[in-house]
Amino acid sequence: MSNDNSRLVYSTDSGRIKEEKSAPKREKGDGIVRIQRQTKGRKGKGVCLVTGLDLDDAALKLVAAELKKVCGCGGAVKDGIIEIQGDKRDQIKAHLEKKGHTVKLAGG
């Protein structure tokens, strides 16, 4: 009986063996930047999520800093998604379109 899930997780010589995790791979976007408003899990506080920017983390942080400055509010970059506090979708859309991106407002 062969088991495909057999892997060493503990050895008496070295203890628990941890698997090395690689960085999560992001899917390539379709070239459209989507902005959606989300309140779930945020105690009623709304944020705008900006997805679809095919940039590395350093460039995303720069774009997020620009957006925070334009909107005059806080924000963060998490897992390749820019979060901007508050409902600033129109300001974000105008700024990104000025930068040459194709932007859609997604969700309600």
Residue 76's domain spans which residues? Answer: 22-105
Measure the CA–CA gap between 101 and 93, rounded to whole angstroms: 9
Contact of 46 with 39, CB cutoff 8 Å? yes
In a domain? residue 37: yes
Task: Give the per-residue pLDDT at 108.
Answer: 63
In DSSP terms, which residues pair with 76 in a beta bridge? Answer: 83
Q: Which of 51, 41, 43, 40 has the alpha carbon at shortest distance from 89?
A: 51
Sites in the chain below the pLDDT cut of 50 = 1
Give the count of domains, the chain. 1
CATH number at residue 51: 3.30.780.10
Interval 69-82: pLDDT, tens: 998 999 989 888 89
Task: Give residue 42's Cα distance to chain centre.
Answer: 16
